[in-house]
Amino acid sequence: MWQVVILLILVLIVYLPLGGLVVKLLALPNLLDLLRELLSDPSLLSALKFTYTQALISALLSLLVGLPGAYFFSHYDFKGKKVIRNLTMIPFILPSILVVLAMIVFYGQQGIFSRVFGTGTFIYSLFGIIFAHVFYNFSLSIRIVGTTWEKLDRDLLESAYVLGDSPLETFFRVELPLLWPSIAYATLLSFLYSSLSFAIVLVFGGVSYNTLEVYIYTLVRRLKLDKAHLVAFLQLLISFFFIVATNRLSKRKDSVEQAFSVSHAIPLKYEKRQWIKVLMVIYFLALLLFFGGPLINLAVRSFLTRDGTFTLQNYVSLFSPKVTRLLGTPIWQVFLNSLLLSATSSAISVMLAYVLARYFSKFRPFFLLPLGVSMMSYGFGVLVTLKDWLPAPILMVFTQVFISFPMVYSIIALGFEEIDPEYHLAAAVLGSSETDIVRRIYFPLLKPSLNSAFAYGLALSLGDLSGVMLVGEGRFVTFTVALYRLIGHYSFPEGTALGTIVSLLFIVLFVLIESRGGKKHYA
């Protein structure tokens, strides 16, 4: 019975706001008039067109940038391979507003890249938005496509060569059909993440570019709630289509990976084609410059004054009255808000995921549904459904559980799948109680997955900006809100200091995830 209560708690937190969004929309008395007005609104049509055009371009470029890395990592073993592959994932786990800050101080008008190459302020444009999305998503192609490519049986290629196929013909006839599900899956994920982008477009797009996320947020800020309601529902319908497509591609990708389970990478020293090695060096140096450069520069800039001398004043200034006025709250309160909110929501997500993965495993697709749902759609559902019933701090926790639960659940569910059911049966036959079985079998075997899931939940919650700004209405300041306000007030010295602290925190979480077997969960 208590398991059903846990399921109902998840329904309350995750699905009631989404259902309420739909029910309250259908109850609007002027729904048809509002729909006609909105569909003829050029600003909505512009937001729709921009959202999915830039997402498509961003996804294709992310694939293009990631494929060479997928090839190198899948075909060769070399010293530092694991470290380098893990480093390519760091941009993906960072908060998007932190990526924005790093790009501004590196590629902005006063950034080192701009001063050296004279590129100006290109980041405040369509190109800058797409570049930021590629920065954020290229590692998906490296990880997802590379994992499948590494496992493809090389005997299939040798057979094609024996039958007279050239390397190019072999790639298109043998490798590409097997890689296609992973390529499509990685591209669709990049497309989905880019279409749901908020912070990047909010800062780099200005008044010229709006995604649906920014468009909904703008409507809410202008108190045009009926229109925001309808647009949020529209985005929910579109997202549902992509969720279904992503789920199908994921299953096809998994079937290929299960068919080929052994790595076939060869030591790099056995590669006789020197030009391959040269291209590999050039590729990784390019990644270091264009994608590693902003993050390294962010840390270096945090210890420099405007004239380039070493200082710790940027960190000290975080506690100054000036920064307190800009943020609307002391910096210690920002730390407390961020850590308390993320720890609470992550702990709740782990508790829910443990129970639901064990007792309701058949509902797995239902539990993963929020992965592709826009935070703006969910957040607006929270406002129209629960705002009059629950206090703001509770609603803030709800938004963070919504963000973290699907990933936390997938990690813990995978942990359960790896436990032999015979362990439970043997313990029960020997007279162990359910409590003893949980304490002596499940918790020890699931400990790595639980730790990894909790760390993921922390990272996802700490990185959220859109949910905090929409539901918190600017009164609840976390790391991401603080970074956004420092950027908005051009307080880049203090912004780089806070950004470096947040980066270190995320790197610690990333190391914890990787050390606990997190590499299984990215794809």
The single-letter DSSP state of residue 386 is T
Cβ atoms within 10 A of the Cβ of 262, count?
A: 7
Provide the 3-class DSSP secondary structure of residue 130: helix
Cβ atoms within 10 A of the Cβ of 450, count?
A: 20
Chain region(s) in the chain for CATH 1.10.3720.10: 1-32+314-523, 41-301
Confidence at residue 262, expressed as pLDDT on a 0 to 100 scale? 64
Phi–psi pair at 144, nearest 5 degrees: -75, -50
Confidence at residue 178, expressed as pLDDT on a 0 to 100 scale? 85
Each residue's pLDDT tens digit, 513-522: 776 554 444 4
How would you write 285-330 as a 3-class SS string?
HHHHHHHHHHHHHHHHHCCECCCCCECCHHHHHHHCHHHHHHHCCC
Give the side-chain half-sphere CA count within 13 A for 171.
4
Confidence at residue 521, expressed as pLDDT on a 0 to 100 scale? 45
Residue 147 near residue 523 (C-beta atoms within 8 A): yes
* CA dist., res. 308 & res. 271, Å (int): 44
Confidence at residue 131, expressed as pLDDT on a 0 to 100 scale? 94
* CA dist., res. 358 & res. 268, Å (int): 43
pTM of the model: 0.86
Each residue's pLDDT tens digit, 189-228: 899 989 988 889 989 987 788 889 899 888 888 878 888 8
* CA dist., res. 145 & res. 94, Å (int): 21
User: Which token pair is 21?
Assistant: 């969004």
Strands in 103-179 per DSSP E: none
Each residue's pLDDT tens digit, 405-415: 998 998 898 88
* CA dist., res. 359 & res. 353, Å (int): 10
CA dihedral of residues 198, 203, 204, 209 (deg, nearest 10): 60
* CA dist., res. 416 & res. 450, Å (int): 11
Hey, what CATH class is 41-301 in? Answer: mainly alpha
Q: How would you label 95-128 residue by residue, b for 16+ Cβ within 10 Å and e otherwise?
A: bbbbbbbbbbbbbbeebbbbeeeeeeebbbbbeb
CA 83 to chain centre: 20
Confidence at residue 292, expressed as pLDDT on a 0 to 100 scale? 92
Which stretches of the chain drop beneath a pLDDT of 50? 518-523
* CA dist., res. 340 & res. 172, Å (int): 51
Confidence at residue 515, expressed as pLDDT on a 0 to 100 scale? 67
Say if domain 1-32+314-523 classifies as CATH 1.10.10.60: no
